[in-house]
Amino acid sequence: SQTIHQWPATLVQPVGSPLSLECTVEGTSNPNLYWYRQAAGRGLQLLFYSVGIGQISSEVPQNLSASRPQDRQFILSSKKLLLSDSGFYLCAWSLGGRGEQFFGPGTRLTVL
Amino acid sequence: AQSVSQHNHHVILSEAASLELGCNYSYGGTVNLFWYVQYPGQHLQLLLKYFSGDPLVKGIKGFEAEFIKSKFSFNLRKPSVQWSDTAEYFCAVETDSWGKFQFGAGTQVVVTP
């Protein structure tokens, strides 16, 4: 069966520090991968998606970037965190272009 | 621009009451429709989905949803809620071949004993 992992589960970082959040999927090949940010009362905002290794599409201009160095690994990064980057970050995967997405447990990021 | 609207941000109801959560979307083409639920401290998980066919779909835990194409709506229902249905519910619409979802803002449902 397929599983999705995210780490760390929680993270507290100072403003201006770098960020690296990791997401890995097991039990499937060539998934579509997604990064979302969840804010209270605002639902989930799609940040990045990837349909293959090295292929990243950005949905929202921001202080973050994403990379997919391996088929089942998706990384969310920042060179210098802002206060506004605080939030709950979710990784998700799906098979093919249309259909159900499966979500990871999320990372709670607090920028101080 | 495409959007997904959930009519209620917070709903409080008693056990055994009926629940209906509204979801409307703005997109004129073919869509796939989803309801996700997030129980306290747990992952987002799928309640039900609609791709095509019978517009009344049944999901897990006694939930169902009806797709009304003319109204661009996909409302979620449960005839009799339980305390364990306390959760946040999200409507999502998939509009393109890349699997990009547009989520509603979510509805926090609290069921009191």
pLDDT digits (tens, 9 = 90+) for B25-48: 998 788 899 999 999 989 899 999
CB contact under 8 A, B100 and A49: yes
**Residue B97's pLDDT band (boundaries 50, 70, 90)?**
low
Please tell me the distance from the alpha carbon of residue A22 to that of residue A91, in angstroms, as a whole number: 9
SS (HEC) of B58-83:
ECHHHCEEEEEHHHCEEEEEECCCCH
Proportion of chain A above pLDDT 70, given as a percent: 97
CB contact under 8 A, A101 and B105: no
Average pLDDT over residues A69-89: 95
| Residue from A75, A89, A108, A105 nearest A44 by CA | A89
Q: How far is A104 from chain B (nearest CA, A)?
A: 6
> Residue A97 pLDDT > 80, yes or no?
no
**Residue A111's pLDDT band (boundaries 50, 70, 90)?**
very high
CB contact under 8 A, A98 and B101: no
Residues 6+ apart with CB under 8 A from A23: A4, A5, A6, A33, A35, A73, A74, A75, A76, A91, A104
Average pLDDT over residues A13-32: 96
Proportion of chain B above pLDDT 90, given as a percent: 78
In chain B, residues with a C-beta closer than 8 Å to the C-beta of A59 are 100
Q: Which of B51, B99, B105 faces A101 most closely, judged by CB atoms?
A: B99
Interface of A with B in 38-67 (CB under 8 A): 41-46, 49, 51, 57, 59
Instruction: Return the pLDDT at B19.
Output: 97
- The model's pLDDT over A46-67, given as tens digits with 9 standing for 90+, comes to 999 999 999 999 888 688 999 9
CB contact under 8 A, B90 and A43: yes
CB contact under 8 A, A99 and B9: no
Instruction: Return the pLDDT at B8.
Output: 87
CB contact under 8 A, B97 and A100: no
Instruction: Return the pLDDT at B104.
Output: 93
**Residue A90's pLDDT band (boundaries 50, 70, 90)?**
very high
Residues 6+ apart with CB under 8 A from B36: A103, B44, B45, B46, B47, B89, B90, B92
**Residue A98's pLDDT band (boundaries 50, 70, 90)?**
low
Instruction: Return the pLDDT at A40.
Output: 74
Instruction: Return the pLDDT at B47.
Output: 96
Please tell me the distance from the alpha carbon of residue B36 to that of residue A20, in angstroms, as a whole number: 27
Instruction: Return the pLDDT at B84.
Output: 96
In chain A, residues with a C-beta closer than 8 Å to the C-beta of B36 are 103
Average pLDDT over residues A93-103: 84
